[in-house]
Amino acid sequence: MKRIILIVFLILFAPNTFAQEEIELDISEQIKQDTILEEDAPFLESEVEATKIPDLTHEKFFDRLTQNTKNLYKLQIDNIDVPSSLYKETFTHKFEKGPLESVHIWNAVQMNMGTTIPEDGNVTNIFKVGLINNMIDGTFKGGKEHFRIMTDPTPQNDRQFMQNLFQDLYIATDRIPHHRILVGNSRPAVGYEGAQSSYTLPFINRSQIARHFGTVRKAGVRVIGNYSFMDYDIGGYSSGTYFREFLPGVEFDGRVDFKPLAKTNGKYGKLTVSGTLAAGSRDSSFVVAGAYVGYEYKKLWVKAEYAHANGSNGATGFSNKKRQGWNATVGYRINKKLELLARYDEFDPDTTIGRNNQREYTAGINWYIKGQALKLILNYIFCQNSSMPDSHRILIGTQIII
């Protein structure tokens, strides 16, 4: 059954994967990190070993499809904290000459089908392409400098094609121990889930505070630190987002994570306590402050996050409203493939107006067929609004990373 599902996914979502010309590639870098909040790993330990791929130029398409499918069937990916690729070995190339040491090309696609059932209206069904990300990750000679080019051609209602096309566009250095410094366009650390990779989210939709205050790209200089008991991600940015304006203002975005159980080897679980601040000026000044706590123990994990905004500059655009919200999520991994989730999410879109809170009750199931590289998602959401009719939503989503 799993082999059939793999074949269907590959035919539907990766038709060009098996039609490549002759390539000689290497084994890609092995990512080792406890928690990854970005699409890229801030701290990498490269273990690149040259391996030649047999000449497949003259093989028939379906012969190659069958062989690659057999290899994928045997592939085991148990770590879901980091995004993995089905073809990370195939699409990583190591250079013998020139300024580059290696280049990894990978792609991610998310799609979902949603059914909305208002309590006083008509049922609607919508198919949505959540994202199409095309990424080039490169490492320069010496392994200390890196770059990323990530494009997203997914159609957007509020942004022009070229404004949305380039998402991550930066160069980074790891020359300072325990640090990575980024210069360019990236996703700043506004909130915990607001900065989390789209490929490792527990639900199809982000929490309401993440959707309004975070999950947005900005250009600037960023410093990421990683220590046993503390991590931090701080930076100065242009307050313009998605290349819509050059420099309408400046802002500071930062988050500090404390890990008090870091030296207990998991005996008492894993605890993370965080604080977030985003402040700056665009059309006017804005400040977003937040707090997060997360705990993991064996198969169980619990997360909660709160944020208050006196103006904000997130993915939904600049706002001068006073807003706040909080959410709590609990998850349990039945086994390496199946995970059960539940979340309560409350948001006040304007604290100066009474009885307008928006509440979402979400239950979900994640099936990690091949870790985050190939998964199925089922979410049920009950939307309870103080100022409008309630509704029910059922979302079925897919994710494939090649």
* pLDDT value for 54: 40
As given in the structure block, the two tokens for residue 188 are 């700043």
* Angle at CA of residue 150, ends 378 and 162, nearest 5°: 100
With 0-12 / 13-18 / 19 or more C-beta atoms within 10 angstroms meaning exposed / middle / buried, residue 364 is: buried
Backbone angles phi, psi at 157, to 5 degrees: -80, -30
Domains assigned to the chain: 2-401 (2.40.160.10)
* pLDDT value for 35: 36
Average pLDDT per consecutive 10 residues, the chain (402 residues; last block may be shorter): 44 37 30 40 36 44 61 84 85 90 94 92 90 95 96 82 88 97 96 94 96 94 97 96 88 98 94 97 95 97 98 92 97 96 97 92 97 96 89 96 92
Residue type for position 263: K
Any idea what DSSP says for residue 202? S
* pLDDT value for 51: 38
CA dist., res. 43 & res. 182, Å (int)? 12
pTM, 2 dp: 0.82
Is residue 363 within 8 Å of residue 345, measured between CB atoms?
no
What's the per-residue H, E or C state across 20-45?
CCCCCCECCCECCCCCCCCCCCCCCE
CA distances from 373 to 32, 81, 116, 332, 334 (A): 17, 11, 28, 20, 19
